[in-house]
Amino acid sequence: MTDFLVSLSSEPAAAHWGENAPFSLNAQGAVVHIDDEQDALRKIAVTARAVDNMNIKKVKLDGQWSFDQQWQFAMSFPRPRNAGDIIWADTEDKERLEQYFTALRFTRKLVNDTPEDLSPENLATRAAEWIQELGGDKVSVEMITGEALKEAGWTGIYNVGRGSERPPVFLELDYNPTGNPDAPVDAALVGKGITFDSGGYSLKSSEGMLDMKCDMGGAATVTGALGLAMMQGLTKRVKLLLCCAENLVSGHAYKLGDVLTYKNGVTVEVVNTDAEGRLVLADGLIRATELNAPLIIDAATLTGAAMVALGGDYHGVFSMDDAARDKMLSSAQAENEKFWPLPLEAFHKNRCPSSFADTANSRPQKGGGAGGASNAAGFLAHFVNPQGKGWVHLDLAAAYQSSGTSEMPVGATAKGIRSIARMLHDY
C-alpha cells in the first residue's frame, strides 16, 4: 500500500474546491494551499484534521516543509485512539521532530488515559519510569505515599487525597547529569497531578466533571517538558515534583471549614474543596523553595477563570519576577507556543482572606469571584520566597480540548512542553 502524501503548494486550489480552500485532494493524497504565509499553519492544521477524519493510517509529508509546518501537522493529526503514523519530510529536522513528537505522545497519553487507569500512584510511577528510561543512572526517585505524607508534613497533598481509597503521592525525581550529589539544583518543576477532580464536597456538576481526568495536565506537561529537555541534551540539575491525588467525596474526605497548617507555618482555611489544585501545589512549591532552585516553574490546570480570560488557545503566565516572566514569554515565542501574561502583584496574596487562618484557599463565590486566576496565583505566592524571585506559575488553559475542532483533535494538547524545555536550557 502506497503512503498517503501531503504536500505544500503556493498555488491556490482549483476553483471547484471552493474559494480559498485550505487543501485539495489528488491521486497521491492531499495538497495544502498556503498562498498566504500568515495563514499557513492554520491551513496545515485544518488539512491534518481532515486527513485524520478520512481514517488515513499513515501519512508522509512530501516535499519542502519547515520545522514549524511539520510540527503543526503533528499537533493536529493524531487522534487519542488509533492515531495514524507520520513520516517526516526529508529535511534535517527529522531527529528534532522525533524528540518533540515522543514527548508530545507521552504527555497526551498520560492526560487522555481514563481516571480508573491513572491513579495517583500510577501517574507518579509512569512519570518516573519514562524519565528513568531517558536518563538512566542520572535519575533518582523518591515517592512519599498515603499516611507517610501526613508524617512528613505534606499537608495539602495528604488532605486533598485522603478522601480516596487510592492514596495520594508526592513524587520527587532528581535529574542530575553532573554526577555530583552536592551539585546545586538549577531548576524545579512542580506539577498539579489531580488524577480525577469531583470537586469534593464542593461537588461539580456532571458536565463539569466529565473532563476532570485532565486535571493532572500540569504534572504531565512538566514531565513531558523535562523529558524533551533531556533528549535535547540538558546538562542542568532539575528536580521534578509531582503532587498527585484524587479529589473525591467520602467519610474520609477533607471538608469546608477545615484549617490546614503547612510546613512553612502558613495556615489555610478551606472554603472550597474544588479549589484543591492550589492546596497540593503549595507543598510542591515549599519543597522547591527548600531546594534553593533559582528557577521554579509550576504548571496546573488550575482555574476556570484563566480559560474565561484566554479561551483554549493560550496558557496564562504569572510571576512577581519581571525577568522570569519575560524569559518564559520569550521562550514561548521562540517555540511558537501561545503564552500570555496575566496580573500577579503582592496584594493578590491577600485576596482570599480568612477569619480563621492566614488565608483561605479561595473566595466563597462561584469560580472564586472576579480575578480568580490572579487570586489563585496570589495564594500560591504564600509558598515561595517573599519576592517571588525566579518563580513562574503557569495556568494551563490550553492543555485540553473537551471537543475536537477543525484544527485540533479532542483531548490533551501537550501545548507548553516546548516552551518549558527551552526555559530549562536558557534560564
Active site positions, annotated:
204, 278
List, in order, residues 6 or more apart from 200 with CB less than 8 Å away: 160, 163, 247, 248, 249, 253, 254, 273, 274, 276
List the 315-318 sheet strands across, edge first: 139-145, 169-175, 238-247, 187-197, 295-300, 391-395, 315-318, 339-341
| CA torsion, ordered 410, 95, 9, 54, to nearest 10 deg | -30
- In angstroms, the CA 193 to CA 120 distance is 7
Query: C-alpha cell of 61?
Result: 509529508
Pairing verdict, β 169-175 and 139-145: antiparallel
Residue given cell 495556615 in the structure block: 267
First to last CA, the chain: 47
HEC per residue, 353-383: CCCCCCEECCCCCHHHCCCHHHHHHHHHHHH
List, in order, residues 6 or more apart from 399 with CB less than 8 Å away: 111, 214, 217, 218, 221, 301, 315, 412, 413, 415, 416
Q: Amino acid letter at 289?
A: T
Largest CA-CA distance found in the chain, in angstroms, rounded = 71
| CA-to-CA separations, 149 to 49, 122, 154, 283, 360, in angstroms, rounded | 44, 17, 5, 10, 22
> Which phi and psi (to 5°) does residue 70 adopt?
-65, -40
The whole-angstrom distance between residue 127's C-alpha and the CA centroid of its chain comes to 13
DSSP 3-state of 167:
coil
Nearest to 377 by CA among 390, 366, 364, 361: 361
> Which phi and psi (to 5°) does residue 360 adopt?
-95, 165
Query: C-alpha cell of 271?
Result: 472554603
